[in-house]
Structure 1
């Protein structure tokens, strides 16, 4: 017990002990209903490190009383997958309603052939697959396998979740509960953890074990002094690469090519996954540059394709070229803000009706009901434009897109103002 990490000692064993992800496993959570009804489908758990993916998979198996097999994508090959599937077939599969659960950690690291080897077992119901990933499964899981799985997104722990976890550790852990511990400040612990619950508990245990006084008082200063004295002990599992990719992206966003190539070099020297780096630049090219320089998206996409084909060491040159290009490009987050504004409006206003003139009218009845009747076909009008209200009546004239302050988007602003005049009022920013 003494050598078992704190995170493992207090790992939840049922849904009631599972503190986070209430949108999935709370009283009204869809995944909770599947688990309790015994109808859990094959699924992918997607979320940052330390958000409880492995724990949730184990709870699903325990609650449903199914055999549980686990593989790590880091050290498992096709042979290992086939051996586990064969065991699963013999222990359940088609011969019982409770087919085994096969949990694959870091499924995004599986090659196409490894993922292909799972298809038959999932399709025939020999196993219920649960894959865990920190990467977007749309990029990293083959379409055939992804189509057979539900994707559930796990959120990073909020501050309240992390503080509850610390209090729970003090209360229920066999070792910590025997100590006199008082937490005065949590900011340093939470900042170091980066929202990773496992990392938080590792740091907390490190700090507590370093104290010799009978009364242990946790403060920010004490935490930072202990962590700085033992940097490798809390970061040895590799979470630091999330800090470095953050520094890399922020350097590009801040138009500093020197910072960008430095952090890029750190990742290259650390053996970071090429596609992980390229994918982040692809996202940034739209989120932070967008229509200020649409070529950035093309550049980043070509970089992603190129490094996927070439590999190290030559890809370092391609990555550097793209990073420098993006860093020295004009910046705009207007498209990113526009879709955020629109999504907020959807959440606030609900399922508003599509105006009759915009509705599809494939049948005679629909045409008689006025579907599509008032729609103005733009190409039938001068300048290929006809004034028409394309939004539901309840949010008419709502402006979601605000062009950025750069030459290309200022031209867009002028274009929109000439077209829409007072309807959206692009003469006034905001």
Structure 2
């Protein structure tokens, strides 16, 4: 087997009929198929998990419309690359520009596309694994149709495996038996490209050992996968293992382990915003009021890396990660809201005390809405000591400060106000 083209590329569909899954978009009389058949494809954002056909759909559109097709990756392309494509597109008719991982473009890069899309210089097809509502400029998003691609189901993936064995120019000449597929499906996680890459890895490894028979079982797949799959796959199992180790290292107050796993993610090409977003959550979930500055720094970090990007963002991420790991820890706020939500689900919509209700109408005032409310700032220490919880759950304590110095001060303050009511 000396063909260097990967199996996933050799099997890439050329028509919508060959595409696995996505029948809601590409089936008979579907929106996207109708648009392609009519030759009137709008600018669009294809949103879905990895390996479900986003790039393939873009290629099929360009092939069917027979128009100039440009492809950029947001990981490696900048504003200069975008402008160069747009200049070339001005000299052509109906050019399509496909941008993979468009969510990684910053505001300036996305703005560079806006005018060309508005004027019809290019039809933009953006692919993203992230919610475009959060990651794509609203002005650009408003000029694009958003099509949601669904994860491939097990039937789709099994059919893809069978097709690879029967149709691929190299595989169809080999004595391949797919005895078991569970491991292939589980490791690939619904990603067709990863599934085919793993199948190819298994076939190549087994064919080196024997030319008589290539029997693929779950045990064989697991052995080969553990030996040869890349150490960091930002969309696979390692993606979740490494971010989990990163979070747990910060929670365990080990800045050395935290920065190590941060380096693993950076070297693996992890999205800078994904890392920063997790640190914002961590700052509140695991540090909270033990050090309120943690949330401020984490949020500032998210804003900063969003503007700057790699490679400089590694320094900002490291500063934040080591600070969070070195900070006092508390999950009291996290526990408080979960306990409150649990009680809300259990007790339903308990009536709000009358003195806390708003009274915008005369009738509501006659019903004593807001009548006995005590404005806290009119009292000493800005504390009225009034009852704020519904009658049924009076005295329930959700927030219980931890033992860090800052929380001890909070506990003392609350106890001085509420005395024995909440047992602070």
Q: 2:331 is matched with which residue?
A: 332
Q: Normalized against structure 2, the TM-score is what?
A: 0.65
- Aligned length in residues: 386
The structure with the largest alpha-carbon Rg is: 2
Matches within 5 A, 1:342-361: none
State the Cα RMSD in Å: 5.5
1:292–1:404 Cα contact (<8 Å) kept: no
Q: Residues 341, 101 of structure 1: CA spacing in aligned structure 2 closer, same or farther, 3 A cutoff? A: farther
Whole-angstrom distance in 2 between the partners of 1:340 and 1:191: 35
Distance (whole Å) between structure 1 residues aligned to residue 335 and residue 190 of structure 2: 24
Cα deviation, residue 260, structure 1: 0.8
Shift in CA distance, 35/154, structure 1 to aligned 2, threshold 3 Å: closer
Deviation at 1:186, TM superposition (A): 2.2
Which sections of structure 1, spanning at least 5 residues, go unmatched?
A: 92-99, 390-395
Mapping of 1:268-307 within 5 angstroms? Answer: 268=266, 275=273, 277-290=275-288, 293-307=291-305
Change (3 A) 1:55 1:385: farther
Q: Structure 1, residues 113-145: CA drift from partner, whole Å, max 9, x if none?
A: 432221123224454432113455466534432
Please state if 1:86 is matched with 2:77.
no
In the aligned structure 2, how far is the partner of 1:201 from the partner of 1:372? 72
Mapping 1:170-181, distance limit 5 Å? 170-173=161-164, 174-175=167-168, 176=171, 179-181=175-177
Contact 2:157 2:192 in 1 (8 A): no
Unaligned runs of 5+ in 2: 377-382
Conserved in 2, the CA contact under 8 Å of 1:376 and 1:388? no
Corresponding residue for residue 97 of structure 1? none
Which residue number corresponds to residue 380 of structure 2? none
Match of 2:110 in 1: 115
Contact between 1:338 and 1:402, CA under 8 Å: does it hold in 2?
A: yes
TM-score, normalising length: structure 1: 0.64
* Residues 181-330 of structure 1 aligned to structure 2 (within 5 Å): 181-184=177-180, 186-187=182-183, 189-190=184-185, 192-211=187-206, 212=210, 214-231=212-229, 242=239, 244-268=242-266, 275=273, 277-290=275-288, 293-307=291-305, 316-329=314-327, 330=329
Relative to structure 1, the CA distance from residue 338 to residue 387 in structure 2 (aligned partners, 3 Å threshold; closer, same or farther) is closer
Distance 2:258 2:246 in 1: 5
Classify the secondary structure of the residue corresponding to 2:143. Answer: coil
Aligned pairs (5 A) from 1:155-174: 157=151, 161=152, 163-173=154-164, 174=167
